[in-house]
Each structure stands twice: as structure tokens, then as C-alpha cells.
Structure 1
Amino acid sequence: MRLPAGVVCAVAVVAFLSTGVTARDLAVFAAYLGVGVMLPGTLLWRALTGGRAPGGLAAGLAFGYAVEVLAYIPARAAGMPMLVLVPPAAVLAAFACVPGLRRHWRGDAGRDRMPVWCAWTVAAIVGYLVVWSTLFLYRVPVARAYVDMPYHLALVGELRRHVPPTLPSVLGEPLPYHWFVYAEMAATSRVTGIAPETLVYRLSTLPMAAATAVLVVLLGRRLGGSWGAGAAAAGVTYFLFGPVLVDGVVFSTRSMFTVWASPTQTFGALLFVPVVLLLGERTRGGWVALLVLLAALSGAKATYLPLLLAGLVLVVAVRGLVERRLPGAWLGAAAVTLGFLVFAQGVLFAGGSQGTVVAPFATVRQLWGAVAGVPTAELAPLVVLAGVHLFCLACVWGGVAGLGRRALEPSMLLVLGIGAAGVGAALLLGHPAGSQLYFLEGARPYLSIAAVCGVLAAARVSWARVAGTVGLGVGAALLVPVFGIGGGPLPRVVAPYAVLAALLVAVVVAARWRRGGTVAVAVALLAGYAAPSSAVEVAGHVLPLERSERLIPKGALAAARWLRRHSAPRDVVATDLHCLHPRWIECDSRHYWVSAFTQRRVLVEGWAYAESTLGRARLFGTPYLTLPYADPARLAANDAAFREPSAHNVRELAVKYGVKWLFTRINPELEVFARLRYRNAAFSVYEIPLDPADTRPAL
């Protein structure tokens, strides 16, 4: 195992060093992650689970992250963020000094270790993630990186200085959002001295994603009974996607490749796997570990506690019927999960929904709007399209049908309940940005594990026959789209899938006639349908990306970084920059780079992700990206200081809103009423003086 891990680490080191990470930052980050997070987390994991729950260093890293976040939040709130180091130091000291705890340093010497071939499989998955991230993020200039990266960076800056946090791009706007991953990055930045920008754009999410891949293999192995099952589950999780038979029309089966685009999803995914592992065990210390992980999970990602509760409810209901008594341990776990869910929704998220509403068929209605040009509310086409979506899901996870009596096992019921909740949320919920699909992404590993277990339980045919059936599916998926069907949008979209469904029925009937392997043959054919699109998707993630659009203007970063160095953490900035694409007719308000790179709170910058915006958004109405700001009076006062500079307008920002700095493009008229402190070819920074007459430049 050491050689595969070493190779992947070497590849990651080369990727980071070649894309601007300094050797000092990389070494300090690795040291802190290893000694300050993973090592104490691993020791606690071993002690609390008694060595019974698998997971090793990967579960230890997840548990260490949970302890770190839960320590940093009160430490930062108390104004002493470096107290985050107390728990890991205390753990290391206790396990070094207490004789009964010293045995946990030895690790899992007596446990079944991952075979070399499986370790190389995991290494290949993580290596693929490294290559993909390098091509699409690490080597991309910051000014051209993915549109949401400044938003993530702004939140890390907020958590470095403020707990509880607010939305840094809109002064005083509540943050009913899952922000614990930003607290983790803020803690790492505080301890190591590494710039938040380096953590967000480079270092932080890769270890989380790598540990998640390892844990998926371990959970698959535990439920599937073999390392082969674990490796297959990881393969399906990361590399198998639904068939795409019509150009531009994707019935999403969701991808795990949101590692850095959605740090919250990545962090939640990592914390969730050990929770599922623990629920399959029966140890007293395991309950303590479970409580810690659930506490961290409550603010890591809003999708996971509902998925877990659904899985636990299914276990309680089915096992209660089978055993004719309520399973106490599972019922207790459900009650605890419900308690954390109520706390998260009522306290952390303050009852906000971030735009998520109950809206059956919203997912396929959004797709239909892209296909037909206009959305539809008619039930018939939506039901048909939902059926096609379910068919695409079956192409990836159809193996669930082979579980048979295994579906009644508590651990299998848990993952099935998680999977069913993910699919149900994708079909029954809606969000202006399609974020209901994060539920499906969160359930992806568990559906994959259940599908692999089902295939193993139902496999009663030769591998040659399975391979032939997969080949038949591949051929059908490649040929059917060639014979396009005209007519309206609905027949054009549905017909290719209907042909494949008819072929599936024919093959299943033939298999039943031969009396053997019906489920295995059906699953093989469905997987064959998915293979071509999956190959295209997988290849697309590691092909060089075309030059991306510049989203941050030249000179902007230098001006923002100057302001960060020369202002106090509690200073408030005002800017007249609100629109991501200034030349568009409508304003795309995902403008966050001022608050991101100044690391300061801004009176009004971008408001697209504010609860006050998403709470007003309506599905299939005006896009939330172009909704006007919720407080027109504040926006008018803010912009008046830049568009119509006067002593009154500038002083109003200072007196009424506490603004000290003005960040804008070159604006000579402002120099009469504010003190010019910095200027480059495109941007300038002004300080509102305490003495209105003191506007002398300080260049």
C-alpha cells in the first residue's frame, strides 16, 4: 500500500509545485494535516471504535477534521482562534502518556489489509482527480478560474475573522448556509500561515476527496464482502454515468467531480462515509464518534442529514415489520439525527431554504425548457421525461434489483434509504440553480455500493455472457442515436431511450426463457448503454481545457491585495462593482472578488447567493442571477457615492454604514471627497477620512 500512496503523493506534489504552491506552504500544510488533524483523529477513531470499524487513516482524517471544526468555531467566537490547537495537542499527549491508550499508535496490525491491486485502484482514482484538478483549476490563472471560486475564498476570509459569520459581500446579510468547510480552511490558514487563496484554489479539497475515495472502497468492501466489491463500488461511483443519446440533453445521474467547485459537498461527502460505517457497528465509543461526526456534518452540507434520516427511517420501518419490534439502536440513531437536523435548520440555517422548494418534476422541467425553448407545466410530458430520467438512473444503479433478501439487512436498508432519498429529492424538489441534484450526488456512492452488492448476489451467469451483453448494450447505445426520429422535441428526446428500453425487455424475456441470470443480464445491458457516454465524460475531464474567460479584470487583484494589507480586519469596504459581466444587458450579480481578495466585508458587492435573493427567486421565472438587490435604498446610497461624488454621499456611507474604504475603477472626482491611497492602471482605492477636509492623496 505504501508504494501506490507514495506515487500519488509524488504526483500531487509535482502538480502543486508546478502550479505556484511554494515548497514552504506545501510542507507546512502536509505537516499540519498529518500531525494536527489526521494523527489525533486516527487515534481517537481507533480508541472510540475499539478497532472494529474500518477506515484507518482515511476515517481518522475525517474525524480529525470534525474535531478541528468543532474546536475552531468556539475558539474564533471567543477571539482566540489558536486555541484550535488545544484538542489535537491534548489527544497526542494523552495517547502518549496513558498506558492504556498507547496501543492505538500501533494501528490495525491484526486487521485485513487492502491488497496491493486494490491500493493501486484507489491510487488510480485519486491520481485521476489530481490530473483533472490540475488541468481545470490548478494551472488556470486565478483571474480565469471557475466562477464560484471567489465566493468560496470570501467565506474563508469571513471565517478567519468572524464567528458567527455573515455574507461578506453584503454587509449584515445573514449566512444561512453550510459553512463548516470554510471554518476548516480558516483554521488551517490561522495555524499554518498559508494564504486562504492557496488553500481554496489549490491545497485543501484534494485530501478530502482522496480520503472519500478510500472510504467508499472500505464501505463497499464491508457490505460487499470482498475487496473486489469495494473497488467496483468506487469505479461505479466515480466513472459510470447515464447514457446521453441526444446532443445537449442530459438526464443527469450526477457526478462526483465537484471536488473544488463545491467544497461544501466535498467536505460533507467525507464526513458522511464514516457515519455510515459506524452505524453498522455496535460499540459504546462508536456512539461518541457518531455524535461528533453528526455535529460536524450538521453544518458541512445541508443535504446529508436528510439523506441519513431517510435511510434510518427505512431501517426502523422495515426491521420493525420483520422483527415485530422496534430496533432500539437504529431508532436512537434516527432520533439523534433528527435532533441535529432540527438544530441545523433552526439555528445554523435560521430557517432559510436557500431557494430549495417542493416542486415535483422541476429537474425534468428545467431540462425540457432547454430542449423546447420554453418550460412546460403539462403533466404528461413531465411524467414521460421523469420516466426517462429513472431509466438513465437504472443504467448506472440497476444492480440494486438483484439484492433479493439482502435488501432486508439493516446496513443494506440504510444505503438503500439514502439512495432512494437522493433520487426522490432530485424528482420532487426544485432550486433556481438546480441544486436539488446535490441530493443525488450525495447518494451516489451508496447507490453504487448497493448496485454492486446486488450484482454479486444475482450473478449466476458466465462472465463471457455478461461481457457479450455489455457489448450488445454498447453497440445499441452507439447505433440508436444514428437513426434520429423527427417530429416534435418530445419524440426526438424520448425515442432513443424507448428503443433501448424495448431491447432491454427483449433481452430480459430471452434470459428468463433460458432460465438463468435474468438480473445479471439486464444489469449488464444497462451498463453497456451507459458505457459510451461514461467514456466520453471520463475522457473529457482529463483533456486540456480551452482558454477560459477572464472573470477578474487586470489590475483588480493587485488593488484588492493592497487593500487587504493596509486595512484592519473589521474595516468595511464599499464598491460600485456588482455585475460579473459588466457589458451584459442584465446584471449577473455573482460578483465576489472584491470581498474575496480584500478579505473584508463589503457594503454591497454581489448578492446572487444571498438568502434575500434566493428567497425571492421563483422557479422558471426571472433567473435569480439577475434579480435586483433586495434593498434598493442601500444600493442607491452605495452607488451614489461613486456616480455622483459629493461630501454628503461619501459621508453617508461612513456615518450610516460604517464604510471606511472605497474600491472602484479610476474615478478622479472621488479624490475631492476621499483620500486616494492606491492606484494602478485600472483600479483605485480611497479612504474616507475622519476629517472631511483631509482628502490629500497618500500614494
Structure 2
Amino acid sequence: MTLAPPESTLVRLSKSPGRRLGSRWAPAALVCAGAAAVFLWCGVSARDLGLFAAYLGAGVALPGTLLWRGLTGGGRSLPEDLAAGLALGYAVEVLAYLPARAAGLPLLVLVPPVAVVGAFVCVPRLRRHWRGPELRERMPVWCAWLLAGIVAFLLAWSTMFLFRVPMAAAYVDMPYHLALVGEVRHHVPPTLPSVLGERLSYHWFVYADLAATSWVTGIEPVTLVYRLATLPMAAATAVLVVVAGRRLGGSWGAGAAAAGVTYFLFSPELVEDVVFTSRSMFTTWASPTQTFGALLFAAVVVLLARPQPFPRPQWAAQWAALGLLLAVLTGAKATYLPLLLAGSLLVVAVRAVVERRVPRAWAGVAALTLVCLLFAQFVVFRQGGQGTALSPFAAMRELWGQVAGIGPPELASAPLLPLVLLTGVHLFCLACVWGGVAGLGRRALEPPVLLLLGVGAAGIGAAVLLGHPSQSQLYFLEAARPYLSIAAVCGVLAAPRIPWTSAAVLAGLGAGGALVAAAPELSGAPLARVVLPYLVLGAGALLVWRRGFVLAVVALVAGYAVPGSVREVAGHVMPGEEDRDELIPKGALEAGRWLREHSAPGDVVATDLHCRYPWWRLCDSRHFWVSGFSERRVLVEGWAYAESTLSRAEPFVRPYLEVPFADQRRLRENDAVFRTPTAKNVRRLAQKYGVKWLFTGINPELGKYARLRFRNATSSVYQLG
């Protein structure tokens, strides 16, 4: 193990110019240049790219970094300050945008960053924070290259599966994200733009960031959603995972290992199409809310993972930093505050027993988190649950349906035994990824490690005990993934050592065993076909188990995960063979933008476009591009994600995509205008619902009762008098 250099050496290194500094910034410069080249290649204009970079740097990251240093004293390294500062800058931006947009002056979002930068320029006591702490730890060059590799991987994956994919064939939820950006650009508090008057029981603060960016820079929301916005968030999260791993593991190698486990180690996959998921972090653009929440939460963990959080000279300032981050987490992603509450309560409970007194700082963290959680539930989400409910073994029930070849409604009455067995297999698969936790020993009593364990246990528990119509309870597991990975690496470092050669041999044996277990085709009952290969691997782990040989078992079970991890990682950057249906007409974007330019933000639009596949017997109502492109509220477009839909879904009985629209009378009156237009039903739509515009395909009959204002090869826009 390499000892840390003395402080005099750090001072000397901090003053050494030239080649050393350049070598440490070369990875970041290279990945930034690569990202710029990719965005330009994928259609982003040089103007938009430059404006986005300038606003992100000067309007978000710079004031956020100064605040991070001023409130928390700064981190040990410049990458930590920049990544955590970006998170804090996003928090300030969102909290500034909400009242600015509510007041009708969205550009007032620029006041806080200008005020912060001005204060740190003009106030002598604050000027020192432009340089940060005098004694700064440098991230090793090899670690910088590793981080650059992770970001480059995210960039390559995004390029292949989003940036170069035609917009009409992109991931199903992209128009939904776009519609919410348009809604928050014009309305705070927002409602669901695709169903007029429907409450928005959803985490929407990331869309406030995108809306603010669009107002300040003039960049089209579609460019932000489909290209630019989420990559900086994902990159900063990767940096903070390494930083947290370095802080708790004691070395940059520990931080690098934590990032490796977080991003590239997955559950063993022994049976084709039957996956006991450990969730990946590759939802960067598919779920902007998860990506935004992950960055904010990582900054919270880095703040709380300090040896002495909230020291007396700076306690008020650090509480202010924590309060800013938690305030935005209330509406950033619903998964994170419950995890933080569980982790902080575990710290309070264990440390109260060990120290025989309640740790006041951690009790304060738990209390503040609880207040924010209640605010989120009763104010931001308005007591909505978006279909999430207590439903033990819901994920395994879905998996059992694949294994046994049964579906709803029979799946709702599946026997308990296979669900319990499959859950046991799932936990074994998670142990293959995070088995290093078993080696923590007395380190498990340290408050920061307890926090990680509480977050991880809550994430796994939520994935097992909760259910959601579209399996969204698994986001809890994804949210906990970085912190379980850090805890696992800390456990490996704390456990009695074994030679690296022995660990490598055992990991190789595990990988070979996983390949052999996956090879034979087992006949017999479906449950036996799935469970037996994992029982074989579990028996192998038990044979290796002996007291004091925790790392031997960890190496073996981690080896089980290697073949599946290789397939998973390669699959994210290998060209896919699936055909993509282009479900958005080519003229839709042009028509939507025309409508946006010729209507007022409060205007209501009616459309007969509700189903992604109009020729299907059942309506897949995840249709959101009319509200997305026009940035206008629609009387009825897609209702799949409405609270009124998800709350009526019956998991394993009736999927949420089969739930009809809640207000059938409104839907009939809406569709009658397009199917059999008359002066009466057109007038009813205008007078009863305030509709001013009709957006549809080619429908010449409407011209008799409404004024045609725009038409291209695929879309028409009519105005009601």
C-alpha cells in the first residue's frame, strides 16, 4: 500500500506547473472534446453547444462550486468541488426558477448565480474560495482516465441508442419528458399537460432545470431532452461515486473499485430471458428524474460521509448546504428521501446503542429528511403514489409469469412458494455483486458506513416489498446501487486479506462455474429449471466458506457475475438488431412548433391522437408528442401516466395500459369532433372545455366548422372562432 505524501509534498505538487497539471486534465479535456464532436455529429448546432456549455459552466457550476466551498469548506480535490458544486448549482437554479416562473419572469433565475458570483468577488472573506483549500489532494492520472472511460462509455451508449436514433423511433418516454419540460416552461405549479386539469403527482424538478436552461439560452427543449441535458449530470455522479469511495475506502483505488462495481458488475444471468436484476446505472436519458436525483443524492452522501459532519465552526453553513440539496430532492426523485431517512435512522439507532446517547447531528439529519419527505408527499406529489403500493414479491411475481408462461389475471393468484424461492435466488444474485459487505466487521458501526448500509437495505427492501404497474419500484434498487458498491469495497478492504493471485483464481473459477451452470438445458418443472443452476453456485460458495476466508467467498461469487456483466456491458455499446417503429409523423415537429408560435401558453388544444399504435385492439396511451412539440395543454392526449390511470390499475390482473381513460364522457365529446364534426359538437368543445385549437392529421371535414391555419403532409392545425 502506498502511503500518502506529506503536506509539504502536496504543497509542492500544487505549485508545480506544466506537464503534471496538463496530464491530469488531459482525460477530462479528451472526453469533453469527444462529447462536443458527438453532439455536433448528431445535429446539435455549434451555437447551441456553446451556449449550453457557457450557461452550465458560468450559471450553474461556478456559483455552485463557490457555494459548496463557502458552505462546506470544500473537498479534498478539485473534481470533488466541481461535481458537488454542479449538484448544488442545480439546486439553487431550481429553487430560483420556481418563484421566477410563478411570477411570470423566468429570466429572474439568473439573479441568484449573479448575486453569488458577485458576493464571492466583492467580499474579501469569500475571495479565498476561488482557489479552494490551499492543501489540495490531486486525483491520480490513472483514476482520471478511469472516470473519463466511464463517461465515454455513457456517451457511446447514448449515441448508439438515442443520439443517432431518429426522433420518431426514440425511447417511448422521451416525448413525455419533452411535454413536461414544455409544461414547466410556462406553468408553475404544473399539471399533466396531456390531460387537461389532471394533477401532476410526479417528480418534476429536473424539468425546471431544463426549462430554465431553455429560457436563458434559447435552446429548444427538444435539443436539451434528446441530446444535451443529462450527460453532465451522469458524469458528475460518476465523479462523486469515486470521491465517496475514496473518502470511505481510504484510497483512490477504493474509489475506482467502487465505480467499477457500480457501473460494470451485474447479477449472474444463468437462464435465458430470466433476469434477477441488480439494476444498472444506464438510465441516464431514459429517466432524467433518476439521473438528476442520483447527482443530488451523491452530493448529500459526500457531505455526510465526512469524518466529522457539521463541525461546530461551520455547522450552520453545512446545514444550509444540506437543506438546499434536500429541498430540491423533494421533487427531484421520489426514491431518494425514503432511502436517506432509512439510512440516517439506522445510524441513530446503532450509534445510540454503541455510545449510549443519541447522536444529535444524525438525529437532525433524520428529522430534516422526514420534514422534506412529508413536504414532498403532501405538497409536491399531492398525496399521489403513481401506482406504487405495498405488494410483496411483485417483481418476482412478474418473473414467475415469464418462467411459468402465465399472465394476468392468473398471475395474481400465483402460489407463494415459487415467489419466495425466486426472491431467495434474487438475494443470492445481489450478494454476487455486493457480497463484500460481509467483510465490514467493526467498520459497520461507523456512522458513514451505517448510512450506506441503511440506504442499501432500504433499496433492496423496497424492491422486494413494493409493487408498481410498470415495475418502477426497482428504481429504489438502482438508487442504492452506488452505496452498496462502496460498502462492498470497504468490506473487502476491511476483511482479512488473501493473495491477489488466489482471489483471481477463485473469481476465474466462479466465472467458469457460471458458464457451466448456464450451459445445460434442464428439463422438468419451470421452477427447477430456473432455481437449480443458482443452487449449484450457492453450494460452491458454501464449500469455500470458512471463518476468516470472507474474501475467498466474495471473490468466488463475484466471479459468478462476470459472464453476465460482460454481456450486459457489451450489449450497451453493441449495435442492436431490433427494428424500431417510427411512430411520430415526419411533419409533427413542424406542426407543433407552428402551433406553439401562434398560440398563447394558456390555450387548450384538442386532438384525436391518443394511441401509439392506432391499429391495435388495445390503446397504448403513452402518446405525448402533441403536448411535447406544441408546449400546450391538451384536452385529452395520452393518459397512461396519469394518476387517475395508475391508481385504477390492478397489478397482475389488468395492466395499466389496458385501463381506459377516467372521464369517458370527455373522451367521447373530444373524439366526436374529429370523427363526425358538426357545428354543435365543435361549439361544445370550445364552450365547455375552453378549446381553441384542433391538432390532427388530414381531416378536410373539420374545415367546415373550424379555420384551417396550418397543414403539411401529415398534420393539420385548426383554430376555433
Q: Is the Cα contact below 8 Å between 1:95 and 1:102 reproduced in 2?
A: yes
Matched, 1:43 2:66: yes
Partner in structure 2 of residue 543 of structure 1? 574
1:298 aligned counterpart, secondary structure: helix
1:543-592 alpha-carbon deviations (Å, 9 max, x no partner): 12335221212322222222222222221110001001111110000000
Matched, 1:260 2:297: no
| Bigger mean CA offset, 109-118 vs 657-666 | 109-118
Partner in structure 1 of residue 201 of structure 2? 176
Partner in structure 2 of residue 566 of structure 1? 598
Partner in structure 1 of residue 684 of structure 2? 652
1:3 to 8, 20, 26: 26
Partner in structure 1 of residue 177 of structure 2? 152
1:624-645 alpha-carbon deviations (Å, 9 max, x no partner): 0121000001111100111110
Matched, 1:63 2:88: yes
| Letter paired with 2:62 | L
- Measured in 2, the distance between the counterparts of 1:557 and 1:189 equals 17
* Shift, 1:483, TM fit: 2.0
1:116-175 alpha-carbon deviations (Å, 9 max, x no partner): 111111000001001111111111111111010000000000000000000000011000
Matched, 1:354 2:386: yes
1:240-389 equivalence runs, <5 A = 240-280=265-305, 281-282=309-310, 283-284=314-315, 285-374=317-406, 375=411, 376-389=413-426
- Measured in 1, the distance between the counterparts of 2:484 and 2:33 equals 32
Matched, 1:634 2:685: no
Partner in structure 2 of residue 519 of structure 1? 550
| Letter paired with 1:199 | L
- Measured in 1, the distance between the counterparts of 2:203 and 2:74 equals 31
Q: Is the Cα contact below 8 Å between 1:53 and 1:277 reproduced in 2?
A: no
2:221 to 164, 175, 196: 196
Matched, 1:99 2:124: yes
Partner in structure 2 of residue 127 of structure 1? 152
Partner in structure 2 of residue 696 of structure 1? none
Matched, 1:586 2:585: no
- Measured in 2, the distance between the counterparts of 1:160 and 1:109 equals 42
Matched, 1:428 2:453: no
Partner in structure 2 of residue 693 of structure 1? none
- Measured in 2, the distance between the counterparts of 1:226 and 1:475 equals 31
What are the ranges of 5 or more consecutive residues in structure 1 without an aligned counterpart? 690-699
- Quote the sequence identity (%): 70
2:45 to 1, 6, 22: 22
* Shift, 1:53, TM fit: 6.9
* Shift, 1:19, TM fit: 0.1
1:183-228 alpha-carbon deviations (Å, 9 max, x no partner): 0000000000000000000000000000000000000000000000
Matched, 1:86 2:118: no
Q: Is the Cα contact below 8 Å between 1:53 and 1:278 reproduced in 2?
A: no
Q: Is the Cα contact below 8 Å between 2:329 and 2:336 reproduced in 1?
A: yes
Q: Is the Cα contact below 8 Å between 2:75 and 2:81 reproduced in 1?
A: no
Partner in structure 1 of residue 476 of structure 2? 439
2:692 aligned counterpart, secondary structure: strand
Q: Is the Cα contact below 8 Å between 2:619 and 2:657 reproduced in 1?
A: yes
2:331 aligned counterpart, secondary structure: coil
1:395-474 equivalence runs, <5 A = 395-474=432-511
| Letter paired with 1:495 | L
Partner in structure 1 of residue 562 of structure 2? 531
Q: Is the Cα contact below 8 Å between 1:212 and 1:270 reproduced in 2?
A: yes
| Letter paired with 1:667 | N
* Shift, 1:109, TM fit: 4.2
1:220-274 alpha-carbon deviations (Å, 9 max, x no partner): 0000000000000001000100011000000110010000000000000000011
Q: Is the Cα contact below 8 Å between 1:56 and 1:108 reproduced in 2?
A: no
* Shift, 1:682, TM fit: 2.3
- Measured in 1, the distance between the counterparts of 2:643 and 2:363 equals 34
| Bigger mean CA offset, 314-323 vs 557-566 | 557-566
- Measured in 2, the distance between the counterparts of 1:114 and 1:478 equals 37
* Shift, 1:619, TM fit: 1.0
- Measured in 1, the distance between the counterparts of 2:610 and 2:273 equals 31
2:63 aligned counterpart, secondary structure: helix
Partner in structure 2 of residue 675 of structure 1? 707
- Measured in 2, the distance between the counterparts of 1:140 and 1:565 equals 27
* Shift, 1:684, TM fit: 1.2
Change beyond 3 A, Cα 1:59–1:52: closer
- Measured in 1, the distance between the counterparts of 2:495 and 2:224 equals 45
| Letter paired with 2:506 | T
Partner in structure 2 of residue 393 of structure 1? 430
Q: What is the TM-score of this pair, normalised by structure 1?
A: 0.97
* Shift, 1:370, TM fit: 1.8
| Letter paired with 1:330 | W
1:299 aligned counterpart, secondary structure: helix
- Measured in 1, the distance between the counterparts of 2:590 and 2:655 equals 32
| Letter paired with 1:415 | L
1:676 aligned counterpart, secondary structure: strand
1:136 to 150, 161, 167: 161
Partner in structure 2 of residue 164 of structure 1? 189
1:681-696 equivalence runs, <5 A = 681-689=713-721
Q: What is the TM-score of this pair, normalised by structure 2?
A: 0.94
- Measured in 2, the distance between the counterparts of 1:358 and 1:672 equals 53
- Measured in 2, the distance between the counterparts of 1:50 and 1:673 equals 66
Partner in structure 1 of residue 8 of structure 2? none
| Letter paired with 1:92 | V
What are the ranges of 5 or more consecutive residues in structure 2 without an aligned counterpart? 1-23
1:1-30 alpha-carbon deviations (Å, 9 max, x no partner): 211100010110011000000000000000
1:54-104 alpha-carbon deviations (Å, 9 max, x no partner): 621000000000000000001100111111000000001110011000000
* Shift, 1:459, TM fit: 4.4
- Measured in 2, the distance between the counterparts of 1:192 and 1:8 equals 23
- Measured in 1, the distance between the counterparts of 2:325 and 2:197 equals 30
Matched, 1:218 2:243: yes
